[in-house]
């Protein structure tokens, strides 16, 4: 172990250099959860975009690439635990860094809850094939306990399991899609290619669903201290997770719209489109493995949110914004065990309360997923603003950086405005205001903390400077893949 790595480990307590690039990539892909979109979200996008659903996903991917380019301005220069929190703090100051931390805690918690509810939906569907019914609370507890054990025990074990589960599920879906296309003679769907009958506003609403499908690509940055060669592997994981899942969504959206044309009920009214496709092409036996794959991918989603969310509240505990016990690492496993435990308790408790209060599991899934997406949008706004400010203070700002930042902000404005106007149906119309109240409480708590300890903000800023890993000149001179994929902007 290098002297530099020993120092980092001593400061953070986490295990350095234990995650390879595929394992870091698995973190982001698992949080995007490709199976979730194929199984539940493409019908939602189709309701607005119709035959232009594949195009909505293509536009959504391109729009979020601008966010990635801003995020990777930080990821290719420095890394630390809870990096999105640290990145925003380095660009806009500790106060905005803490606010970013609040948005990410919200986002990872609620998307993790979506994983819990999705796991329950497909576990119930799977048991339904053999006539067994189990209350969803049981599935929440099973998923929560196993997630907690894996995240508490070993980040490397968690990453490997996510990689295997998501890979198997996506492989099954691609096999189904190929069979569907083969049954149609691999003919081109003229209706989709010509965008017949679609409207600009319909595509726009479809893009919103697409963006919500793609959030989570940034979660690899939360593993900054545990990744091998993070200045190289994390930027690669962030951009490749978005590109690979974006292309997968474009392909699967095209296949689902093509294969289910004329189906009754229509795609936008289906809760299990993959199972319907399997029946249509005569491979109904795939419904069981598809349901198992979906169930396991939702488990992976919860696990990835637990890993990422715990690594956001962990540095906030070390910085004294949250209880200092949250900022402690396990002496043997080198994981943020207290942060993991606090996160999983909240992640399980909220869906349990909702379902025990009488809410359907599908409705709970929709609501917690929307809440999570609001948090991600806010954190993406902050990082897109922070990037050019950071580069300016670093003496590396160029016109191209400003253009990329503005494009990212403009792209994010569309889904953000849609949360307020046209006014969504109840109760979704209340969600943005609930989030704003939460952020106001978080900002108020930061004010209280800083009043109790007037030097707290300066301490956080010094800690962000001292804990972010600076590599040797030799490491910094190694080519970074993002430089090979986009023009040099800095």
How far is the C-alpha of 200 from the C-alpha of 87, rounded, in Å? Answer: 36
Residue range 8-26, pLDDT digits in tens: 444 456 777 778 888 888 8
Residue range 214-232, pLDDT digits in tens: 988 988 887 777 888 888 8
Tokens 């080198």 map to which residue?
A: 334
Is 466's pLDDT higher than 60?
no
Give the pLDDT mean for 471-482.
38
Residue 11 lies inside a defined structural domain of this protein: no
**Three-state SS string across 355-418, please?**
HHCCCCHHHHHHHHHHHHHHHHHHHHHHHHHHHHHHHHHCCCCCHHHHHHHHHHHHHHHHHHHH
Residue 6 lies inside a defined structural domain of this protein: no
**Percent of the chain residues topping a pLDDT of 90:** 37
Residue 9 lies inside a defined structural domain of this protein: no
Q: Could you tell me the CATH number of the domain that includes residue 286?
A: 1.20.1740.10
Residue range 284-316, pLDDT digits in tens: 888 888 888 888 889 988 988 998 889 888 888
What helix, strand, coil percent values describe the chain, rounded to 5?
A: 80, 0, 20
CA distances 214 to 32, 265, 267, 349, Å, are 5, 26, 20, 26
Residue 5 lies inside a defined structural domain of this protein: no
Residue 39 lies inside a defined structural domain of this protein: yes
Q: What is the pLDDT of residue 9?
A: 43
Give the pLDDT mean for 181-196.
88
Q: Which residue has the higher pLDDT, 427 or 480?
A: 427
Number of independent structural domains in the chain: 1
Residue 490 lies inside a defined structural domain of this protein: no
Is 97's pLDDT higher than 60?
yes
Residue 1 lies inside a defined structural domain of this protein: no
Give the pLDDT mean for 375-393.
92
Residue 481 lies inside a defined structural domain of this protein: yes
- Structural domain including 229 reads 18-260+267-485
């Amino acid at each position: 172990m290098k002297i530099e790595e020993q120092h980092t480990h001593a400061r953070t307590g986490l295990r350095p250099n234990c995650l390879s690039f595929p394992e870091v990539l698995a973190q982001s892909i698992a949080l995007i959860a490709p199976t979730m979109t194929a199984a539940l979200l493409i019908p939602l996008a189709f309701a607005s975009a119709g035959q232009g659903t594949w195009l909505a996903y293509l536009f959504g991917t391109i729009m979020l690439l601008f966010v990635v380019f801003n995020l990777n301005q930080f990821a290719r220069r420095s890394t630390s635990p809870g990096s999105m929190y640290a990145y925003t703090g380095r660009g806009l100051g500790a106060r905005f860094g803490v606010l970013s931390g609040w948005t990410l805690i919200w986002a990872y918690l609620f998307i993790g809850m979506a994983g819990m509810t999705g796991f329950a939906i497909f576990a119930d569907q799977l048991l339904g094939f053999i006539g067994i019914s189990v209350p969803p609370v049981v599935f929440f507890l099973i998923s929560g306990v196993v997630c907690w054990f894996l995240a508490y025990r070993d980040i490397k074990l968690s990453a490997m399991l996510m990689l295997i589960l998501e890979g198997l599920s996506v492989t099954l879906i691609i096999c189904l899609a190929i069979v569907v296309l083969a049954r149609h003679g691999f003919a081109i769907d003229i209706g989709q290619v010509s965008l017949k009958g679609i409207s600009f506003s319909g595509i726009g609403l479809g893009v919103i669903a697409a963006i919500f499908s793609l959030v989570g690509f940034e979660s690899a940055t939360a593993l900054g201290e545990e990744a091998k060669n993070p200045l190289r592997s994390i930027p690669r994981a962030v951009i490749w997770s978005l590109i690979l899942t974006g292309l997968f969504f474009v392909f699967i959206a095209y296949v689902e719209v093509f294969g289910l044309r004329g189906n009754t009920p229509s795609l936008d009214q289906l809760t299990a489109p993959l199972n319907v496709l399997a029946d249509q092409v005569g491979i109904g036996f795939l419904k069981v493995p598809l349901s198992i794959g979906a169930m396991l991918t939702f488990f992976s989603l919860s696990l990835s949110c637990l890993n990422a969310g715990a690594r956001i509240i962990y540095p906030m505990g070390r910085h004294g914004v949250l209880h200092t016990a949250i900022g402690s690492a396990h002496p043997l496993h080198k994981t943020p065990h207290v942060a993991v435990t606090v996160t999983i308790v909240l992640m399980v408790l909220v869906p349990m309360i909702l379902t025990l209060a009488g809410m359907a599991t599908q409705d709970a899934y929709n609501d917690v997923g929307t809440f999570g997406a609001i948090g991600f949008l806010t954190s993406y706004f902050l990082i897109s603003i922070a990037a050019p400010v950071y580069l300016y203070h670093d003496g590396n700002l160029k016109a191209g950086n400003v253009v990329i930042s503005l494009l990212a902000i403009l792209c994010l404005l569309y889904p953000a405005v849609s949360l307020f106007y046209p006014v969504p149906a109840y109760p979704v119309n209340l969600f943005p205001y609930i989030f704003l109240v939460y952020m106001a409480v978080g900002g108020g708590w930061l004010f209280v903390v800083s009043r109790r300890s007037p030097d707290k903000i300066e301490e956080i800023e010094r800690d962000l400077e001292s804990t972010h890993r600076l590599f040797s000149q030799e490491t910094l001179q190694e080519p970074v893949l993002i430089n090979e994929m986009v023009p040099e902007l800095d």
